[in-house]
């Protein structure tokens, strides 16, 4: 048993709020250095200040759009200069809207795939070579139960998130002998701004969001910290023999 865990440098995309924000809090509470990369820079900076004050760790925030490859590279370089090489990468940046597939268009497909799938590729591309070279790394990618069982009005998002699962399993195979693990957390419906904003886009979306709690065996949506716990199962120092796994944290919604 490896205890206590040495402090590591963690980069969390989408870390300014919601599930990513809760992941930042858990990693900071474990003593890790935390870098937040998010579109929402003032929320990210406020959370970084909170983490420094509450946990006495080093924390920074950078404005970053995960659809911009140059910016992703710049942010990773800045974080490595400030906090040291990235040991833990959590890809929590994500976006969706409830739309029937027949009502979507190709611009919508491109936007959803660019954020949810290619965003994960970009950050992984920027940090994985260094992790492999140093012989230690943890990558945790947020997918969704929508990717495992489908979800009405989320066709393109479900496809992009299924891509995240297949991609993560493959890099897990390619990097495990170099000390890097890569795993997937699939949240079920979680009480965050994302789901609230999705429910505000019309009568049908509002009805869907209103019915989500009943669809989950536990009878309620998850709180972001309940998902964050699942993420830290995989980031743990002792989790070196767990790779390529998909963990649903969804109150019993899926039991695949
Ligand atoms: N909330 C749910 O019910 C739910 C369910 C399944 C999966 N997920 C997934 O969990 C992850 C976190 O979602 P959440 O509910 O916390 O959402 P959220 O909207 O509360 O947080 C997501 C964060 O990602 C950031 N973000 C969005 N697009 C970005 C971009 N292009 N570049 C950088 N940052 C960007 C947002 O600014 C935000 O801070 C997402 O990947 C989401 O798809 C959420």
The number of domains in the chain is 1
Share of the chain above pLDDT 70, in %: 98
Which of 22, 72, 93, 205 for mutating ligand 1's site (highest number of atoms within 8 Å of CB)? 93
In a domain, 254, yes or no: no
**Omega before 4 cis (within 30°)?**
yes
Tokens of 187: 């949240």
Q: Which atom of ligand 1 is nearest to the CA of 157?
A: 43
pLDDT at 3 over 80: no
In a domain, 32, yes or no: yes
Catalytic residue list contains 55: no
| CATH code for the domain of 86 | 3.40.50.720
Nearest residue (CA) to ligand 1, atom 7: 144
CA distance 226 to 181: 22
How confident is the model at residue 256, as a pLDDT?
Answer: 74
Tokens of 40: 């929402």
Residue-wise pLDDT for 222-249, tens only, equals 999 999 999 999 999 999 999 999 999 9
Site residues for ligand 1, CB cut-off 6 Å: 13-14, 16-20, 38-40, 64-67, 92-95, 115, 119, 142, 144, 187, 189-190, 192-195
Average pLDDT over residues 16-23: 98
Of 55, 157, 229, 241, which one is the catalytic site residue?
A: 157
pLDDT at 4 over 70: no
In a domain, 67, yes or no: yes
pLDDT at 5 over 90: no
In a domain, 233, yes or no: yes
Beta strands in 39-84 (DSSP E): 59-63
Q: How confident is the model at residue 2 (pLDDT cuts 50, 70, 90)?
A: low
- pTM beyond 0.95: the answer is yes
How confident is the model at residue 239, as a pLDDT?
Answer: 98
Query: Over the chain, what is the mean pLDDT?
Result: 97
| Secondary-structure breakdown of the chain: helix, strand, coil percentages, each rounded to the nearest 5 | 55, 15, 30
In a domain, 80, yes or no: yes
pLDDT at 144 over 60: yes
In a domain, 176, yes or no: yes
Helix (H/G/I), strand (E/B), else coil: 19 = helix
- What burial letters (b/e) apply to 161-172, b meaning 16+ CB within 10 Å? bbbbbebbbebb
Residue-wise pLDDT for 47-103, tens only, equals 999 999 999 999 999 999 999 999 999 999 999 999 999 999 999 999 999 999 999
Which of 11, 15, 18 for mutating ligand 1's site (highest number of atoms within 8 Å of CB)? 18
Burial class (CB in 10 A: 0-12, 13-18, 19+), 102: exposed
| Centroid of chain to Cα 70 | 20
Strands of the sheet containing 59-63, edge to edge, are 59-63, 33-38, 9-13, 88-91, 137-142, 180-187, 246-249
In a domain, 172, yes or no: yes
Tokens of 176: 């495990």
Average pLDDT over residues 146-167: 97
- Which DSSP state fits 251? T
Farthest CA pair distance, the chain: 53
How confident is the model at residue 22, as a pLDDT?
Answer: 99
Tokens of 34: 């935390």
Q: Which domain holds residue 67?
A: 9-189+223-245
Q: Which segment of 60-64, 108-112, 159-163, 211-215 scores lowest on mean pLDDT?
A: 211-215
In a domain, 4, yes or no: no
């Amino acid at each position: 048993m490896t205890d206590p865990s040495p402090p590591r440098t963690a980069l969390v995309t989408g870390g300014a709020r919601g599930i990513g924000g809760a992941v930042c809090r858990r990693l900071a509470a474990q003593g890790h250095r935390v870098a937040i990369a998010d579109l929402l820079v003032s929320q990210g900076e406020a959370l970084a200040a909170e983490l420094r004050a509450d946990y006495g760790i080093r924390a920074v925030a950078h404005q970053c759009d995960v659809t911009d490859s140059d910016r992703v590279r710049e942010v990773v370089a800045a974080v490595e200069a400030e906090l040291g090489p990235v040991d833990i990468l959590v890809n929590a940046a994500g976006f969706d809207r409830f739309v029937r597939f027949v009502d979507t268009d190709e611009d919508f497909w491109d936007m959803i795939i660019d954020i949810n799938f290619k965003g994960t590729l970009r950050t992984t591309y920027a940090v994985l070579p260094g992790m492999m070279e140093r012989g230690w790394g943890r990558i945790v990618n947020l997918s969704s139960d929508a990717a495992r069982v489908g979800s009405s009005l989320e066709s393109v998002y479900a496809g992009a998130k299924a891509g995240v699962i297949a991609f993560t399993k493959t890099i897990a195979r390619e990097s495990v002998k170099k000390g890097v693990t890569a795993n997937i957390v699939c949240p079920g419906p979680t009480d965050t701004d994302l789901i609230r904003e999705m429910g505000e886009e019309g009568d049908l979306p509002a009805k869907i969001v209103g019915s989500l709690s009943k669809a989950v065996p536990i009878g309620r949506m998850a709180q972001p910290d309940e998902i964050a716990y699942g993420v830290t199962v995989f980031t743990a120092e002792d989790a070196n023999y767990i790779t390529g796994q998909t963990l649903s944290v969804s109150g019993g919604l899926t039991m695949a």
